[in-house]
Structure 1
Amino acid sequence: MAKWGEGDPRWIVEDRPDGTNVNNWHWKEKDATAWSKDKLTNLLSDLKFGDTAGNALEVEEVNFGDECEAVINNRKQKLIFLYEFNITLKCSGYTFENDKVTGNIEIPNLEQQEPIEDVDIDFSQETPKSVEPKYYDFFKTQVRPFIRERLQTYVDMLTSEYSKGIVLPTKDVNSKAEQKGKVTKQTADKEVSQRSDSKGGANTGLKIATFKIELKETFQATAHDILEAFLDKPRVEAFTGAAAQVDRSKGGAFALYGRNVTGYFDSIEDKRIKMRWRKSSWPAEHYSLVDITLHEVEERSETEMKLIQTLIPSDYAEEQEMRAGWTNMYFQPMKQRLALGYLL
């Protein structure tokens, strides 16, 4: 019998983080069906839509078909996402002529092989039998794009949030991390100096083209209530329909929609808030600057918001997309779920 610490090294068991699945070689599966149904229900429930012509639609119930599932697989450190959902949203509303409408929003093919922009989202009207063309146009322009954004949010959350912990850190990864942590200050300073020299001035990182947007929105709420919608964690989770991270202090971090939106609060005042804001698809460590000012109009019991966002990376975002994002992922849900105003 070999003495303690001796023997053939091939038979010595190592203490390593991936000891239960060395190098993530074996097939590992995680069922995400229940989690997915819960997230989709939260994202699609209680939605209310309206336009200036008087058309309105409200989602009353979220139903799933019989063969719905979501699974995440890991083999050889490669994640494979498999999901298939057939969803029906029971709805009711009114046309611009004040006729009551009932029907369903049908989403028959939310599947991993279908890009979100190709997923079918259609409205099947039950009553009245004849479909008013202007009402269907309202569905196509106001309702369908918002539903599509919510479906994209679910996919992003599935791939970034629920998949955590499936791929175990390997011995090599740990060793590299340890070596990386031993980089000396002199080396880091040298790298910074080299980057600065390459730009011919201060260290500004990569030079990328950016653009700016300005938005105005009116709420039937006080400035305090609107600020709380950005700063209060329960309210943020209520209007986003998902878990969120919110540190409401100056310099505090926030993370929304499965960490697809992250940033920091730079300044918090009674009627103004400034933040660094980014999407996960943007270049690493690149933040836009968001400046929100609020003006209360007491005679109308309204608050007018002005939002200015600068340093938006042109190669990673479009102006129309950014404007629609603020409306569909912030302003409309705040009004719907936090009762901060009417939808137009």
Structure 2
Amino acid sequence: MVLHNPNNWHWVNKDVSGWTKEYLEKDLVGIKAEKDGASAEISKLLSQEGDVEVAQRKGKVITIFDLKLQLEYTGKTKEDEAVSGTITIPEVAHDTEEDEYVFEIEMYSESSSKTAVKDVVRSQITSQLRARFQQLGHALMDAHAKDIQHAAGHKPAFTPAKVYSSSSVNKSSEESKSSTTTTTNGKGPAVNVTSLSDQQEFRCDAPMLFQILTDPQRIAAFTRAPPKTFEGARPGGKFEIFGGNVSGEYVELSEPTKIVQKWRLAQWPQGHYSTLNIAFEQNNVDSVTIMRVDWTGVPVGEEEATKRNWENYYVRSMKQTFGIGSIL
């Protein structure tokens, strides 16, 4: 499916997890090796857990993936004894180097007579898997980049913005009813705006969440890059993150319970900011913290993109990076 993205300015992403599973099944199954009469071959992709996306940020297409894979292998010893087992790779990510993959190799039925096959897997099969994993990002780009980025000079017909009701935006989260008003900040034309809200659970205390959203090193960790601008987490301190696709200014901070920001996406009308209120409510029994988010002043037609990118690039990335929540 091609995602409408005129002039390649919108911050959009495409979930390609299903395509990736099919690709890996074709690419990995059949990898084989032999040494000193013992042989082994990848026979099945048993499971794939995690997320895979192709995203476009202000004209640049990137891949974002973080997977856990389990493969099945079969083989034979020099004496023709059948062997089978699993290979678990805890992390195959877009930023994993070729020498950083970890392989957990197990046999269904361990015995000393079968170790030669396990050695083939460890010494011969894993090196082939490393090389294949390094090509996944390129394969994703080749197959899907064209779906979210238009060719130079191509000017698709503009589709009028759709006004989304709260029920159509992230039904799994608690949201307020959207109320549309017209505002202007003196720097541009009047903008029709609405309100959004979101609620997420994190398995950490409130001070940690507060630090993740105010400390530049932690911000760099979950956004995958240092902030383009960061004047400090203080009232009036400006910031630009995600390569400038998100920018704003801290308005109010009450550690560790509240952060208020002026906040905008790059594709919004020039000079227009929403007000983003973030509240942290900690359960002192099990250190679970609810993060409640309320936006006011979101441009009409930008509701879905705002919520989607908040979920994917803030919430999901924070949970993955710091290990503070189940990724649904």
TM-score by length of 2: 0.48
TM-score by length of 1: 0.46
Greater helix share, 1 or 2? 1
Greater strand share, 1 or 2? 2
